[in-house]
Chain A
Amino acid sequence: MNAELMRGLGYIAASILFVFGLKMLSSPVTARRGNLVSALGMLIAVGVSFTAMAQIRWVWLLAGVGVGAAVGALAARLVQMTAMPEMVGLFNGFGGLASMLVGWAEFHGAWAQGTEIHLFTRTAILLTVLIGGVTFTGSLVAYGKLSGRVRGKPILYKGQNLVNAVLVLAAIALGALFSIGVVDGNLAYVLLLGVVALSLTLGVTSTIPIGGADMPVVISLLNSYSGLAACAAGFTINNNVLIVSGALVGASGLVLTKIMCKAMNRSLANVLFSGFGAAAGSRGAGYQGQAHPISSADAYLILEAANSVVIVPGYGMAAAQAQHAVGELVELLEKNGADVKYCIHPVAGRMPGHMNVLLAEANVPYEQLVEPQDVNPTMETVDVAVVIGANDVVNPAAKEDRNSPLWGMPIIEVDRARTCIVLKRSLNPGFAGVDNPLFFKSNTRMLFGDAKATITSLVAEFKP
């Protein structure tokens, strides 16, 4: 069997394993094995690639693999579950950067040897560099915002969309000149470096206007870009396994992006260009009224008498690292005879599925986690809804106030529960900067303070 055929078969096997790995992610029972299946696919793809290397430069190879494996393993071991959004954001960026470097290296190799590059390959190199570069710096900004190293608020300035449009047009113009190949080798290299610079700039300028609460959409989109960059690299070197895997990741990011947008009732264009939550006067009606603050002793009495409880966690639970305390409280509630469910909104937290991972870490069985459509129809029968650090996803203005920026967003309708306890630091509006009339409803009780400290004191009340 010749080497090329063997490689082809290896790549097909790898692609099949990736597909099965993703398929097994459709249930928590098989998901972990699915991840192993996918990893086996990667091992095969890398293994057979060695047979295509005319020379193996062990020093360079081991340096790259060694550093990468050490950093990756350490990051995977040390990252806190609350910090998963930052980590995924950063990894999106690394994927984009790696693809960009592959495109660049391919071009440099041909340039150094004076080889003519096919029009199609030049276009593929261009796309690899462009998508990879935008993914890299865009992800760095997303990482900065998610980890709090950069201000989470949208950064807006006059003529922002115009500046971005000019950058895109410039990149397209340079790219087109580069691709059609009217210029000679050296000038082509200059053009490519120009595209590199423009793409890196564009990644930053297109991400800074997007606010922290919209990050679930942004990292889903960047996830998709990192796949598409790998795909473009696949077209550069005519390699099917890169194209297939890149397309799978690209599609995955797109599906998640669409789900997130739908859960916020907003279009992707609105998320990317509107600077949501920064514009003055878009906060809604500026609700005034009497909030009803209670102490944790009062809250204990309410919860102690409850037969059915719904917990609605949000980013505040992650920020306060309160998931373990919440898990403990829920166990005590169950021992007390209450039926307890966690209701997770698709955009709760800073990335898709973030709350589920945190609660899994706190040993909450996944059957106990439900979605808004499972709880909303029977919300009137719920004795107590406990909102822990969630805000916009429970804001009744989405149903009641046509002028609210949240109007039309599907929410968890905790205002219809018999009693609603909101754990919060203050009455300040949430990340989107929209006022929340829930806090002033007659059946709402406000329990102010740090979520973890509050829950811990509730747990103490329950223990005799």
Chain B
Amino acid sequence: MELNATTLSLLFFVFVLAMFLGVELIRKVPSQLHTPLMSGSNAISGITIVGALLAMGHDQSGIAVLVLSALAVAFATINVVGGYLVTDRMLGMFKSKDKDGGKP
């Protein structure tokens, strides 16, 4: 994307709207699900892996950029993989009274 006033204001526009959307969404999450919410948002913040991949894929990345971006990929992947898996593991434990397999 070319960097000009239009692009900049669009980026900010997206940012502001996403913040408002985030607040509205999260306010509806009941307190019993706050821990999975946090581990799930850990996973989402691993989106920075996209930035790391793009940095790694530049045409003439030198060795330093490769090292930095590979480290970034590694840490972001820990967040993505670890975050989604542990959230799934936790949510798998939440059981309702009505369903079978709830209480032994």
Asked if B26 and A238 make an inter-chain contact with CB atoms under 8 angstroms apart, the answer reads: no
- Residues on B with beta carbons closer than 8 Å to the beta carbon of A73: 81-82, 85
Asked if A22 and B25 make an inter-chain contact with CB atoms under 8 angstroms apart, the answer reads: yes
Give residues 70-92 of B contacting A (CB, 8 Å).
70-92
Asked if B37 and A363 make an inter-chain contact with CB atoms under 8 angstroms apart, the answer reads: no
Asked if B55 and A106 make an inter-chain contact with CB atoms under 8 angstroms apart, the answer reads: yes
- Residues on B with beta carbons closer than 8 Å to the beta carbon of A28: 30, 32-33, 91, 94, 96
Known: A57-B56, A72-B77, A229-B48. A251 touches B26 (CB 8 A): yes
Known: A45-B50, A352-B35. A357 touches B90 (CB 8 A): yes
Asked if B35 and A356 make an inter-chain contact with CB atoms under 8 angstroms apart, the answer reads: yes
- Residues on B with beta carbons closer than 8 Å to the beta carbon of A98: 46, 48-49, 52, 71-73, 75-76, 79
How many A-B pairs with Cβ below 8 Å? Answer: 388
- Residues on B with beta carbons closer than 8 Å to the beta carbon of A23: 25, 28
Asked if A101 and B31 make an inter-chain contact with CB atoms under 8 angstroms apart, the answer reads: no
- Residues on B with beta carbons closer than 8 Å to the beta carbon of A52: 53-54, 57
Question: Chain B residue with minimal CB distance to A260?
Answer: B34
Q: State which of B51, B55, B59, B95 has its C-beta within 8 Å of the C-beta of A360.
A: B95
- Residues on B with beta carbons closer than 8 Å to the beta carbon of A248: 18, 21-22, 25, 41, 44
Known: A95-B46, A357-B35. A76 touches B22 (CB 8 A): no
Asked if A245 and B45 make an inter-chain contact with CB atoms under 8 angstroms apart, the answer reads: yes
Asked if A31 and B94 make an inter-chain contact with CB atoms under 8 angstroms apart, the answer reads: yes
Count chain B CB atoms within 10 A of each CB in A53, A65, A102, A220 and give the residue with the most.
A102
> Nearest Cβ in chain A — how far from B96, in angstroms?
6
- Residues on A with beta carbons closer than 8 Å to the beta carbon of B97: 365, 367-368
Distance in angstroms between the alpha carbons of A206 and B91 in the assembled complex: 33
Asked if A53 and B54 make an inter-chain contact with CB atoms under 8 angstroms apart, the answer reads: yes
Asked if A101 and B52 make an inter-chain contact with CB atoms under 8 angstroms apart, the answer reads: yes
Asked if A223 and B96 make an inter-chain contact with CB atoms under 8 angstroms apart, the answer reads: no
- Residues on A with beta carbons closer than 8 Å to the beta carbon of B18: 243-244, 247-248, 251
Q: State which of A42, A238, A365 has its C-beta within 8 Å of the C-beta of B47.
A: A42
Interface string of A4-27 (1 = CB under 8 A from B): 000000000000001101110111
> Nearest Cβ in chain B — how far from A278, in angstroms?
26
> Nearest Cβ in chain A — how far from B32, in angstroms?
4
Distance in angstroms between the alpha carbons of A86 and B45 in the assembled complex: 17
Asked if A353 and B34 make an inter-chain contact with CB atoms under 8 angstroms apart, the answer reads: yes
> Nearest Cβ in chain B — how far from A44, in angstroms?
11
Interface string of B59-71 (1 = CB under 8 A from A): 1111011101111
Distance in angstroms between the alpha carbons of A251 and B37 in the assembled complex: 12
Distance in angstroms between the alpha carbons of A252 and B83 in the assembled complex: 15
Distance in angstroms between the alpha carbons of A58 and B13 in the assembled complex: 36
Q: State which of B33, B44, B72, B75 has its C-beta within 8 Å of the C-beta of A42.
A: B44
Cβ of A190 under 8 Å from chain B:
no
Asked if A245 and B44 make an inter-chain contact with CB atoms under 8 angstroms apart, the answer reads: yes
> Nearest Cβ in chain A — how far from B12, in angstroms?
9
> Nearest Cβ in chain B — how far from A316, in angstroms?
18
Cβ of A71 under 8 Å from chain B:
yes
Cβ of A3 under 8 Å from chain B:
no
Known: A68-B76, A360-B94. A75 touches B32 (CB 8 A): no
- Residues on A with beta carbons closer than 8 Å to the beta carbon of B25: 19, 22-23, 26, 248, 251-252
Distance in angstroms between the alpha carbons of A81 and B90 in the assembled complex: 8
Asked if A356 and B53 make an inter-chain contact with CB atoms under 8 angstroms apart, the answer reads: no
Cβ of A153 under 8 Å from chain B:
no
Known: A95-B76, A105-B65, A365-B97. A234 touches B38 (CB 8 A): no
Q: Which of A112-120, A155-163, A169-177, A402-410 contacts B (4 or more CB under 8 A)?
A: A112-120
Give residues 1-48 of B contacting A (CB, 8 Å).
1, 3, 7-8, 11, 14-15, 18-23, 25-48
Cβ of A281 under 8 Å from chain B:
no
Question: Chain B residue with minimal CB distance to A331?
Answer: B103
> Nearest Cβ in chain A — how far from B49, in angstroms?
6
- Residues on B with beta carbons closer than 8 Å to the beta carbon of A120: 3, 8
Asked if B77 and A366 make an inter-chain contact with CB atoms under 8 angstroms apart, the answer reads: no
Task: List 12 additional contacts besides A76-B84, A237-B55; criterion CB under 8 Å.
Answer: A35-B40, A45-B47, A60-B70, A60-B73, A95-B45, A247-B15, A251-B25, A253-B41, A255-B23, A351-B34, A360-B95, A363-B93
Q: Can you spell out 16 A-B residue pairs with CB atoms less than 8 angstroms apart?
A: A27-B30, A46-B49, A49-B53, A64-B69, A67-B77, A94-B76, A95-B79, A102-B72, A118-B3, A220-B38, A245-B45, A250-B19, A251-B19, A251-B22, A351-B34, A356-B31
Closest 5 pairs (CB-CB, A-B): A68-B77, A53-B57, A251-B22, A72-B82, A353-B34
